[in-house]
Amino acid sequence: MYQEKELRTIPGVPMMLFLILCIIGSVVMLIASTRMGIVLMIPVSILALVFSSIGLGGLTVVNPNEGVVVQLFGSYVGTLKQHGFHHVNPFSTRKRVSQRVRNFESAKLKVNDFDGNPIEIAAVVVWQVVDTAEASFQVDDYQNFVVVQTESALRNLATTHPYDAHMEGQLALRGHTAEIAEQLKIEIQDRLSKAGVSVIESRISHLAYAPEIAGAMLQRQQASAIVAARFKIVEGAVGMVEEALQKLGENKMLVLDEERKAAMVSNLLVVLCSDRHVQPVVNAGTLYP
């Protein structure tokens, strides 16, 4: 396991000025040695010029929210995280890793939910690299790793929860968006921790039944909504009838026997529970023969 460690470097501007002065001095010394015929000074001047020129290759710029992973002959040396102008070993290799916050939206995946119904689901994940060493050395391509593992976690989440809750207390993809989003974030984070990636937020961006069953499921949802509405209407109607009979009894406006009470209850329930306009019928006779 590679853990990120910050690399201490030489400031870039003083080192650049020093190397430029070395190059100028080497050129001047080479010209002087050639003119004066000092043979021993010529190789020294050439070597100084070559090494000074190579040293310029160690100058590195680090941008804000960026890490530069430094390797020397295959070994991890450290990461440059302080933005600015730096100088490192010119023989080292450097890889830039962005630590900016990024977002990724998965493709629309077709999976079966907990009840076996085919659904389409997609998610948006907000993430960033927090450990440049793990992102560089633990996985081959951390960006592709984020994509693949996000879709894998999304498939697993969809198969362990139903689209709609059919039992009290059951988590559903459609009805418990906050809880599902938190579970998705935890599952994605568990998969991406080894790649040095932190998941900031994840949410379901698309959720629908597959086209082949969408029509049937829509009818089912409509039927459930109608049944629920009917239950509410009947509950309210019974309460209104009960209150009406109670008020009539308290005010002693009418004295009704059980048969007349039953008739009144029946009529009131028909009026209150009907989904169409009630046609009034005037009874000019009597309930009794």
Domain residue spans of the chain: 10-63+84-94, 102-209, 214-273
Helix (H, G, I), strand (E, B) or coil at 99: coil
Q: Concatenate the DSSP letters of all residues of 135-169 into one string.
A: HHHTSS-HHHHHHHHHHHHHHHHHHTS-SS--STT
Residue 244 to residue 254: CA distance in whole angstroms: 12
The arithmetic mean of pLDDT across residues 52-58, rounded, is 86
Can you say whether residue 97 is alpha, beta or left, with left for phi > 0 and alpha for psi between -120 and 50 degrees?
Answer: beta
| Predicted pLDDT at 129 | 92
Residues in the chain: 289
The torsion angles phi and psi of 271, rounded to 5 degrees, stand at -65, -45
Instruction: Give CA–CA dist 184/160, Å, rounded.
Output: 11
Report d(CA 276, CA 285) in Å as an integer: 26
Q: What is the CA radius of gyration of the chain?
A: 39
**Sign of the four-CA dihedral 185, 186, 187, 192:** positive
> With a threshold of 0.85, does the pTM exceed it?
no
CB 3 within 8 A of CB 138: no
Task: Calculate the CA dihedral of residues 116, 122, 125, 131 and round it to 10 degrees.
Answer: 60
Q: What is the mean pLDDT of residues 183-190?
A: 92
Which range scores top for mean pLDDT: 2-11, 122-131, 232-241?
122-131
Sheet with strand 10-11: strands edge to edge: 10-11, 84-87, 59-62
pLDDT band at 269 (very low <50, low <70, confident <90, very high): low
For the residues 159-183, what does the mean pLDDT come to?
83
Q: Which class would CATH give 102-209?
A: alpha beta
Give the pLDDT band of residue 221 (cuts 50, 70, 90): low
User: Which of the pair, 240 or 21, is modelled with greater confidence?
Assistant: 21
